[in-house]
Every structure is written in structure tokens, then in C-alpha cells.
Structure 1
Amino acid sequence: MKIAVYGANGYQGKLVLAELARHDIDIVLVGRNGARLREAATTAGTVGAEQRVADTDDHDALVAAFRGADAVINCAGPFTSSGPAVISAAIAAGCHHVDTAGEQLYTKAVFDTFAGEAERAGVTVVPSTNDGCVPGDLLAHLVAERVQPIEEITVSHFVTGGGGFSRGSLRSAVETLDAIKAGGLTYDDGDWRIGTPARHTSITLPDTPQPADVVKCPLSEVVTIPRHIAVRHVESLVDAAIAAQLDTPLTPQIIDSLPEGPTEEDRRTQRFTYLIDAVGRDGQTARGILRGHDTYGITAVIAVEAARRLVVDGAKPGVLAPAQAYDPTSFLSFLAPHGISWTITVSDTSTLQQ
């Protein structure tokens, strides 16, 4: 098996390289700068891996760089501007494709743009194979099996510690800042809409008596969940304290002056809780609780496993949500040794706060 990593020299890319090396998978490092690729290979312990230089504005070079690989993992953000070129080249090269994007509008654009092209080429594209979208989408599918029919699903993200964002994540945030400030897409009555007010302004976390303030945030689960669950309304929220971190004006110069990303110690001490709250049309509720640590590290684990399963197990050609491409219980069970735990509770009283 051979997997190409685009953006291999970035912060997330190097974590993906190290994860691939642990699986003894043949790697092709692809990026815009040969010197930085060599440096990344040294840092990740993959010096012997093949390295190919290609920019996103050169389709033929990208196709040639991916040729011979079974799958491509794209770690090069901002994905909104450069991601489509990588997908197009991967499809042309006959490769499956996953990426580590967290940009909601990009995720939707992938479904809207590449579904037919990927299907005709016989390859599978799964966008947003990151710490939130994959386990959240899979857990939502399992939650939906407990409550039918479903009126609404609310996805909430809470993160503590971690040392902040990587430079790549900040560049993606800046490029999509308007969508972030607007709260992003909400799925409502059969379509995705912008500008829909949040139904919830606070959420009660497990084992916490006081509700936490939340705000709308464009998470990719809003795009993926309605593709495999019949639901009337899906919205995504984050801890208001996390959203406040993006209120500080950022320029390219400021971002370049920051550390490449969190230290290993910061990542080790970080904790996250993601909630999937479903309300049935009969008033019954179910809550999925996902806990873990190290968002960047677990993203590398998830992206590599997502690509590996497409190559080994296969999936329907086209653009798929995680729960369409992978067995939810199997994939979540795989994540358990990596510190991911999940539970589902069903009750008649919702813990969501209006």
C-alpha cells in the first residue's frame, strides 16, 4: 500500500507522516517546496520515503505526483482555496482521497462538486477526516438508531488546554472568518442555510451542574450527518470561550511569528468533549458523548486509518460522509486504544438548554 501526503511539511502533515510510518505504509511526500519536504521527512523519521514537488496551481504536476499511490491524504490548508485542486488531481490519478479539513463550506463544496467525478473514476473521497467530524458523524449514526424519527441533532464541541491552534489552522480560520462569525450552515427542512439563528445558547455538559454558554460555529458534521440520517434540523455549536479566541485580529505576519503548533506536552494535556444531542419527534432524547485528548494527534490517527480502510476494505465510489464509508462501531472501537471513549444515553428529558 502506498499513500501520498500533500502538505507533508506542515504541522499536521508531519504528524500524519509519523502515523503512517508507525503502520509501515509506503509514503510519498508531496508539497510545494522540496527543501521543506526533506526537513519534514527528517523530523517525522521518514527520510527514505519518496518526495515529489508539486503546487496546487499545476494540475499535471499534481497528478504525476499522486500517480502510483493508492490514496492521498491532504493536510495543506486553507482547504477552501487549495483543496479542490488536490481532490481533482487525486481523482485523475485514480487515488482515493481524504483530508484533514475543518472548513465547513469547503466540506459542502466537495460533495456538491466532486460526487459524480469521483463515482465515474471509481474512487472514494471522504472530506474532513479529523478529530471532530469522523467520530462525531459515526456517533451520530449510532445515536440515530436509538431515536426515530428525529426532529433535531445538535453537535457541540468543548476543548480545554492544548496550547492553542497551529499556524495552518489559524490561516484556515482567517480565510473563512466571515463564515465563522456568521455561524456557518444550519441544516433545516431539507436544505443547508446560512443565517439561521441557533436554537440553543447553552449546553449542560456531563457531570456538570451549570450549563456552559455556546455559540454557533461552522462544523463539518452539519454537512455530513443529514446525508445518512433522516433529520429535520442540524446545528453545530462550540464553547463560547473557544470562539472568543478568534476575535483577536490576525494578520499573516502575526501568524508567521507564532509557533508552528502546540508542543507535545500541550497536546498530551489537552482534553475534549464532543456531544451529539438528538431529539425525536415524540420528545424522546438521546445523547452521544465522545471524549478524548490531543486533537491534532488524533486527527493524524483518524486520517491515516480513514485512508487505509478505503484502500483495504473499499467503499462505494463517490463523495461520502464518514458513516457512509465506514462501519461506525468498528471505526470507533479502533479509536479506543488511542484514548477515545464514547457512550450513548437515552431518556425522555433533554439536557439541552434553550
Structure 2
Amino acid sequence: MNERLSKAGGRRQVVAVYGAAGHTGRFVIRELSRRGFTAIAIGRNAANLAAADFPAGVRREVAALDDPASVARALTGADAVVNCAGPFLDTAEPLVSAALRAGIHYFDVTAEQASAQGIFERYSAAAEEAGVTVIPAMGFYGGLGDLLATAAIGDWTRADEARIGIALDSWKPTEGTRVTGRRNTARRLMLSEGKLRPLADPAPNAVWPFAEPFGAQEMVELPFTEAILIGRHLQVSELHTYLNTAPLRDLRDTTTPPPVAADASGRSAQTFLVEVEVRQGSMVRRASARGRDIYAITGPLVVEAVERILNDARVQGGVFAPGALFDARNFLAALTPDVLS
């Protein structure tokens, strides 16, 4: 295993994970350890932290967001923090503030539009002044779609329309997903005429001709944080995101069980396919990614971003969409073929 060494002093790089004992947090901890980082597992519940099966060498810290001193102690020695604790409407701002005070980079994996938008609006100037990079929504919902759209647009300076189709073969939601759904009641936003506007009610339906094995799928327009990210750095007049309806039935069924590990890595058997098409006049470009387990894929996505920021001598301060900072094609290629194809 290669150790990740900081630019200053050659010490091993340290990344804190808030919400580390949660389902997604455990994937992030494993990915950090696999890549040679020292991980700090932070949580609100000491018993859950103690019971979590973390790799050897992971430091455990208990901290409550309403106790800034405990958060500051938990972040001691960290170079960056990854927030995996939803609802992010409640956790993102306290942790961004703590990261800025500590002078460390902040990442989260929110799918909540209001949370990501709030971080851009309220912390861009402070992060720039502090020289701290802040990247919200660096997960399956949000970051992946932003990177695919950025890769598809390529050298175009603008696009008339972008469409994102997300197909899941099922959705076994975590308890955190259910809690976030109950908390996140804000009306969803989409891009229209280059501006964020409320999604129509009822949301439009469509049929998307996915590649096999999904094929034609019944879809509903359901924008996530990719609308916030893309609207920040790409000149796109119209952006529409669709999710197939089958997994939404799983999500809405209160008897649907949580995800179950199907291999030694902890990934479930769930499969996904994301297809993006962008149009400029009569020209159309496409990009797509497929893989397994929307929770598990978030680990490599956010840790790849952390690694690139911590090893970039030209790191910028501010709040950014991933596609605004990274070479999107190169970033996605780095995850191929192990976690994406």
C-alpha cells in the first residue's frame, strides 16, 4: 500500500470522515485506507463508532455539531474532511464552518439541492479568502452527473440542452436516505433558459432508450444536485434529469429493506447506468457510466477528488463543482474499469 504524503513535511496525509459509521461513510473510510491515507472516523454516537468494522489504524472520534469544540478536536491533524452525514441541510454548514476555521478542505456527498446551493451562496467568499477548497455533492447524485456532462460538452463553450438519464435496477435505501427524504421537502430546481427554476408539478414523464440491460425505461424528471453544480460552471440553457420509476417504487415502499452486501467489498448487487447527452444546434454528444451500488461508488468518487486536491500545488480557495476543477475525462478514466465502465 502506498502512503499518501503531504507536501509539507512529508507526513502521511490525514482525512477525516464525518458520519463515518454510516453506510456510505464506511465505504469512504475503506477507500481512504486502501489508497494509503490515514483516516479519522468521526461520528455522533460512540457505540456506533466502536461497533464499526474499520480497517486497522483508523482513529475514532466522537463529536457533535452543536459542540464546535468537540468538532475542532476531532479534526486535529486532518488535511481534509468528508461529510457523509445527512441530512446535509443540518450538517453541511456547521462542518464547512469548522473546516474553514481549521484551514482544511471540505467535501460532501449531498443529493440535497438546497444544501449544495446554500454552500455556494454563503461560503464562496470565505473559502476563497481562507484558501480552502469546498466541493459539495461529490457523490453518485450530483458529482457523477456533473463530470459526465462536463466530459460530454468537452471543448464546446455552451450547449442548448443537456439531458441526464439515471437507471437503477432497484433501490434498497439506507435509513439515512429515508431520514433525508423526510427532511428534504424543498421543491426541486432545474435549469431553464440558463437559470434555476422550480420543476413543474406534476413532474414531466418520459421514456428513455437506455443501452442494455436496461433498455427502454419509464422515467420521471427528478433533478438532484447536478443541476446546482452544472449551473455553476457550464453554459447550458436547458438541463433535465430523469430517473426511472421502478426504483422510486422501492424507495416509497416502507417495507423495502436496506442494502445487503453481495461481495467482500460490501457492495450490494444493485446496478446503475447513467447516460448524458448534450446538444448544440443539431450536434449531439453523449457520455455514459455504469457500475454497481450507488452508495459504494460514492467512496471512490469523493476520495479521488480528495486525493487530487491534496496533491495539487495550485489548489484554489472557494466553492466549486467538480467539473470546474478537474479534467472530467481524466477523472472518470481514473475510476475505470475498477468501479465504472
* TM-score class normalised by the smaller sequence: 0.7 to 0.9
Instruction: Give CA-to-partner distance per residue, 1:240-280, whole Å, 9 cap, x none.
Output: 222233434x5xxx89xx55x43234935321111112121
How do residues 181-192 of structure 1 correspond to structure 2 at under 5 angstroms? 182=187, 184-192=188-196
Q: How far apart, in 2, do the equivalents of 1:235 and 1:277 lie?
A: 10
Instruction: Give CA-to-partner distance per residue, 1:305-344, whole Å, 9 cap, x none.
Output: 2112111125321110011122212211110032312xxx
Correspondence for 1:66? 75
Task: Identify the structure with the greater helix proportion.
Answer: 1
Q: CA RMSD in A?
A: 2.3
Shifted more, 191-200 versus 74-83: the winner is 191-200
Correspondence for 2:249? 244
TM-score, length basis structure 2:
0.87
Correspondence for 1:2? 14
Which residue, 79, 91, 103 being the options, matches 1:94? Answer: 103
Instruction: Give CA-to-partner distance per residue, 1:279-309, whole Å, 9 cap, x none.
Output: 21x2222221211112222111111121121
Unaligned runs of 5+ in 1: 342-354
Correspondence for 1:345? none
Correspondence for 1:167? 175
Q: How far apart, in 2, do the equivalents of 1:52 and 1:269 lie?
A: 31
Q: How far apart, in 2, do the equivalents of 1:169 and 1:211 lie?
A: 27
Tell me, what secondary structure is at the counterpart of 1:336?
A: coil
Unaligned runs of 5+ in 2: 1-12
The amino acid that maps onto 2:272 is F
How do residues 74-89 of structure 1 correspond to structure 2 at under 5 angstroms? 74-89=83-98
Q: How far apart, in 1, do the equivalents of 2:66 and 2:105 lie?
A: 20
Q: How far apart, in 1, do the equivalents of 2:143 and 2:223 lie?
A: 15
Which residue, 199, 211, 228 being the options, matches 1:206? Answer: 211
Correspondence for 1:155? 164
Correspondence for 2:9? none
TM-score, length basis structure 1:
0.84
The question of whether the paired residues in 2 share the 8 Å contact of 1:185 and 1:235 is answered with no
The amino acid that maps onto 1:216 is E
The question of whether the paired residues in 2 share the 8 Å contact of 1:15 and 1:44 is answered with no
How do residues 89-238 of structure 1 correspond to structure 2 at under 5 angstroms? 89-145=98-154, 149-161=158-170, 164-176=172-184, 178-179=185-186, 182=187, 184-196=188-200, 201-207=206-212, 211-238=216-243
Tell me, what secondary structure is at the counterpart of 2:295?
A: helix
Cα gap change, 1:226/1:31 in structure 2, threshold over 3 Å: closer, same or farther?
Answer: same
The question of whether the paired residues in 2 share the 8 Å contact of 1:155 and 1:275 is answered with yes
Tell me, what secondary structure is at the counterpart of 1:173?
A: helix
Aligned residues: 325
